[in-house]
Amino acid sequence: MKKDQLSSKDLLLALLYSPGVNPKYNEPIVGRTKLTKMVYLFEKEIYKPFFKDIDITLPQFEPYHYGPFSKQLFEDLRFFISIGFIETEETLVPISSAEKYEVSLDAESGDDCWDCASFDEVDGNIELRYYLSDSGKKYVQENVWGIFSETQQSNLSNFKKKINSISLDSLLNYVYNKYPDDAVKSRIAEKYLGKDDENCVRS
């Protein structure tokens, strides 16, 4: 029997569409870094146990300045914003001290890299909230969400709830200590490595 297939773009939209802490669909995700780590942990921790009957093309991650990063995910995010499927909104939440540190290091380095913080935050100080537009929701409802079983939809919602309910610092701490091989190029590894956090996002 042929497996259902989803692209990395479909996965990004599904994560945004899914309920989380709030039981309503389309719960926003605050910050590009949290969104990136959410997709990373989907691959590492819940794809094979809960979604093995669906062939999902996952974005490729590699170690970078602050842990695992995916250029493909970043480009998918840009694409959906450009066509109006994903919208952003300024929050009153300042960037965490960890992310400010990362931003300052990138600015000092002068690297012409694709994971620059200016895409995610206003003036490098304020987080953005990401959510689907009406057209984005309609696309997911008609083409993506129904591919998941009710159990898979629930697993996705529980996964998003766990990540959205913890701070970025706690999330980074978890990722760095659980997957240290993907933190080898990080400029802030010493802030997190070896400092266990009781928060666990695994389903």
Q: What is the mean pLDDT of residues 109-122?
A: 44
Which pair of structure tokens corresponds to residue 154?
A: 């629930």
pTM score: 0.84
Q: What is the mean pLDDT of residues 120-124?
A: 47
CA–CA separation, 29 and 91 (whole Å): 11
> For the chain, what is the mean pLDDT?
84
Q: Which of 20, 10, 166, 181 is CA-nearest to residue 85?
A: 10
Domain ranges of the chain: 4-192
CA–CA separation, 164 and 142 (whole Å): 25
Q: What is the mean pLDDT of residues 166-172?
A: 90
Q: What is the mean pLDDT of residues 53-69?
A: 90
Q: Between these two residues, 103 and 115, which has the higher pLDDT value?
A: 103
3-state secondary structure of 163: helix
pLDDT surpasses 80 at 103: no
pLDDT surpasses 90 at 113: no
Q: What is the mean pLDDT of residues 109-136?
A: 65
